[in-house]
Structure 1
């Protein structure tokens, strides 16, 4: 469980995005997670899908591009769209300026942990050019939290490969360390060097 006093706004210095947690899993009683995103020009996600939750998008400032099951939507402020469970989707910013939108994840899973870990690792210089963790064990934990699957490799292969890596990560204490570093009220208060001293 993430501490109630944890920072509500997090920043990814590698890609410039900012996420604010409006309603957390704990606050909604597990019903949903709701975040506000400030997405930079050219930013977005690759085409992917989820097998345990759906996402509801709402544009607030600027136009949000959303591909969903072969359709491309351009959401203007006030417009909403849903990426249903299992749908192949991605969101991105085609504008020349930052855009702002909200995403509601239903039901609540561990999406908050996923974002806190991914952004925290980026702040600590532990992600690559694609903003994903360089360490395969840290990547396995992040993927487990985000429950996202890429288009292409069959889901059974992705679940099998990353499931094995996740079990190794748990056994080696990687998940416990990431939760302690990024999902507690003291997250981000030490320097990266101190946090990762002696850790490969």
Structure 2
């Protein structure tokens, strides 16, 4: 493992994302973060990644996953791996807080996504579902997921959201 300096993103509601480690090992590049989630409910919408593999291990609380239509609820010590091209979504099902370790291989832009969503949350620029209100920020966020939203055709997402991201960068938007 290549140890990195710990970085912590604390959201106004107490939700915290801590960068635990990133680097390269015999399996390739990786990013490991810890999620401390204070709010019950969906943590994202259904999406998929062409290249990324994500692994989750629940440390505290309950976490629900739907992966390619199969639902699974995990408790402390349980683990799930989401492979490339699998449509997935997950929720905090805990009465209180959820703590989960999240490993991303290769990491792609995921840390930038966490930083961007932290920034937008602190600036109150997200709607009640956690989606950026401003279309240019939406394009920037979409670009960071290293994947696609389940449903809309890929060509549509690349044209619309990719175009919004290019426009946002051209007028000075930065993560």
Task: Decide which of 33, 36, 50 is 1:35's aligned counterpart.
Answer: 33
Query: Would you say 1:68 and 2:67 are equivalent positions?
Result: yes
Compute the displacement of 1:72 (Å).
Answer: 1.0
SS in 2 for 1:21: strand
Q: Which residue of 2 aligns with 1:12?
A: 11
Query: Would you say 1:137 and 2:136 are equivalent positions?
Result: yes
Q: Which residue of 2 aligns with 1:196?
A: none
TM-score, L = length of structure 2: 0.87
Q: Which residue of 1 aligns with 2:21?
A: 23
Query: Would you say 1:113 and 2:112 are equivalent positions?
Result: yes
Measure, in 1, the Cα distance between the counterparts of 2:53 and 2:19: 17
Measure, in 1, the Cα distance between the counterparts of 2:85 and 2:14: 28
Q: Which has the higher helix share?
A: 1
Q: Does the CA-based 8 Å contact 2:61-2:93 persist in structure 1?
A: no
Q: Which residue of 2 aligns with 1:195?
A: none
Q: Which has the higher strand share?
A: 2
Compute the displacement of 1:126 (Å).
Answer: 1.8
TM-score, L = length of structure 1: 0.77
Q: Which residue of 2 aligns with 1:188?
A: none
Q: Which residue of 2 aligns with 1:125?
A: 124
Query: Would you say 1:154 and 2:153 are equivalent positions?
Result: yes
Compute the displacement of 1:11 (Å).
Answer: 2.1
Measure, in 1, the Cα distance between the counterparts of 2:150 and 2:68: 11
5+ residue gaps, structure 1: 179-200
| Higher Cα radius of gyration | 1
SS in 1 for 2:29: coil
In the alignment of these two chains, the number of paired residues is: 169
Measure, in 1, the Cα distance between the counterparts of 2:84 and 2:108: 13
Calculate the aligned-residue CA RMSD, in Å.
Answer: 1.9
